[in-house]
Amino acid sequence: MQEIVRRLQNLDTFNHLNERDLKELAYYMKVLHLRNRQIVFNKDEPIKSIHLVLCGSVKILEELNGEEVKIFNFLSRGEFLGVAMAGLPQPKYPTSAQCNEDCTLLEIPLSLFSQMMIQIPELRKEVNKQISQRFLEFQNDICKAHRLVPFRLANFLLRMLERQGTLSPGRIQIPMTRLDIADRIGAQSETVIRILSGWTKRGWLRTEDRHIEVINREALQEVQFERPHKRLETTA
């Protein structure tokens, strides 16, 4: 229980609560230590718990057939899983969630989470903000789906940087493979590999293992704004 209290105290959503209140909440919660690629939940399973990412990152995805996967989002520290449908009667997960690396999650029973939403205004505000951000992300994907791959790739990398704010402003904290990125933006992995390689050679990016560091943000913005004299790829 003390581990849960300590972790909650490190989150802005809960750090205003006194230790007694945190202990009362922590009694019903559970810390989960999951390995890379481990499934958190599957699509259409009943929602019995809400998960809060304490460490690591999670992929929100759906298997389109036996081979194809669509990644809708990457969620990291401080983000909730399963909240969008939690208020519905007999809610089910609309997608699956898989650990993107070794993760630590906080499992919160749905009934307790519903009570917390009513009692803790900061939590309600944070959850509503996260749901709105994910809706806008989904809307952005639909609006940009017809654009060329270089545009969609630059747009995605810049949005990832914007989401993490001032935390290591050039380095994307969430690890991603080239296939992950391709599945996220709806492109062929070969195309994504070719474009990232070209941008790396130009000095726009630096890649290390599964991490990407954006060195020349202005160059990606030129691609995003589709200015022909700056764009690396014109067709894809």
Structure confidence by residue, pLDDT tens digits, 22-64: 999 999 999 999 999 999 999 999 999 999 999 999 999 998 8
Mean pLDDT of 211-233: 78
| pLDDT at residue number 236 | 44
Confidence of residue 231 (pLDDT cuts 50, 70, 90): very low
Structure confidence at residue 233 (pLDDT): 45
| 163 pLDDT more than 50 | yes
Alpha helices in 145-229 (DSSP H): 149-164, 178-185, 189-201, 217-224
Start and end residues for every CATH 2.60.120.10 domain found in the chain = 2-143
pLDDT of residue 227: 62
Is the pLDDT at 66 greater than 80, yes or no? no
Kindly state the average pLDDT of the residues 77-84: 94
Answer whether 28's CB lies under 8 Å from 112's CB. Answer: yes
Spell out the residues 6+ positions from residue 94 whose beta carbon is closer than 8 angstroms to its own.
43, 84, 85
Q: Which fold has domain 2-143?
A: Jelly Rolls (2.60.120)
Average pLDDT over residues 148-152: 95
CB count, 10 Å around CB of 132?
Answer: 10
CATH placement of domain 147-224: 1.10.10.10
Instruction: Cite the residue boundaries of each domain of the chain with CATH code 1.10.10.10.
Output: 147-224
Confidence (pTM): 0.88
Dihedral angle of Cα 193, 194, 198, 199, to the nearest 10 degrees: -40
